[in-house]
Every structure is written in C-alpha cells, then in structure tokens.
Amino acid sequence: MTAAPSPRCDRITELTSDQLRARLAEALQVYVTAMGYPPSTAQQRAPMWSAHMLRAGWRCIGAFSDQDELIGIGYGYLGAPGQWWHEQVQRGLLRTVGNTGDWLDDYFELTELHVHPASQGGGLGEEILRRLLAGAPGAKVLLSTPEGPTRAWRLYRRVGFTDVLRNYRFAGDPRPFAVLGRPLPLDPPQPPSHRTH
C-alpha cells in the first residue's frame, strides 16, 4: 500500500473576507488538522474567525493545491487594546517584566498560520508568512505559538522573531506559549545554502 502523494501547491493568493467566508469550513479543517485539535474545535472557532475578518488591517493569504483544495492559511490584523489576545499579552508582560516596552504599540498580530500536515516541510509556511507580512500594516509583528521544538519554531527563528514573553499560559489553555515578535518589514529570504537547520 503506497501513501497518497502530498498535495502540490499550485497557487498562493491574497483572500478577501468574502472569499475566506466561502471557504471557512475548509480553512478550519486545515487549522484543526495542523494543530491536532478535535474536529469539534472548528465549530467553536468559526465565529471567532468571522469576527476577526472585521478588524482593522485584516489580511489573509491562502495556498491552494492543483485540485483547488486549500492546503495553507495565514491571517492577521492590527492589534489593539480591548482585544482578547492584546489584553492577555499585556497582562503577561506586566506580570513578568513590569512593563510592555513598545511591543504593544503599532503591531500586526499574526493570528493564524497553518499548513496541512501533508504539505508541510517544503517551505509553504514561510511563503505564506512572507506574503502576509509583505503588505501588513504596523511597525512590528507579534504572534504566539506553543512552546517546544516544532517546524513553526524553526520558521519563526529563521525569519528573525525574538522572544517577547516565554512559557505564558493564556486563559483557557493549559499549554505554555511563547509570544514572539520582530520589526517589519521582514528581511529578504536567505539563499538555501546559508540557512541553518
């Protein structure tokens, strides 16, 4: 029995909120599969993703296979006081370092970045990330990711993200997370021979 071939990425494109809404179930399937969450998580997240599309500075990039299947998704928006994630990170920074520095001023929140596991490992995540941030508003970008050695960690380090807050537990999730950030724009990609693995 042979394994099914990995879906080949045919196109990567910016999506409008209407285009993402039309494929929201598909996008959430990529999310739950990539994160290893139970399928019911998709229904819980759908209203949140829909609400995010209304925020200032929202942008989305989708990657599609040659069969027009969504195999990667990334989106974000301008972070602001009053947003759940902003308030959580502010609380964590005040508790651990006593101030927020300027991290929470004029930043783009990279909210979601997911590649279907069958399409991981070929640079698709970095391509989505770069396209998303190339047009992102804000002087810097922030994100949170579960602690641990993962492909996501290697990607974020490779493109220059540094620690903002480590081993933080967001309300409602028992796992430790890191908050990472860097100035925008991103540096140009390094040739493959100069990358560290």
Helix (H) or strand (E) holding 75: strand 70-78
Give the 3-state secondary structure of 26-76. Answer: HHHHHHHHHHCCCCHHHHHHHHHHHHHCCCCCCEEEEEEECCCCEEEEEEE
Residues in the chain: 197
Structure tokens at 113: 């970045």
How far apart, in whole angstroms, are the C-alpha atoms of residue 167 and residue 169?
7
For residue 100, give the DSSP letter: -
* 3-state SS, residue 18: helix
Catalytic residue ranges: 156
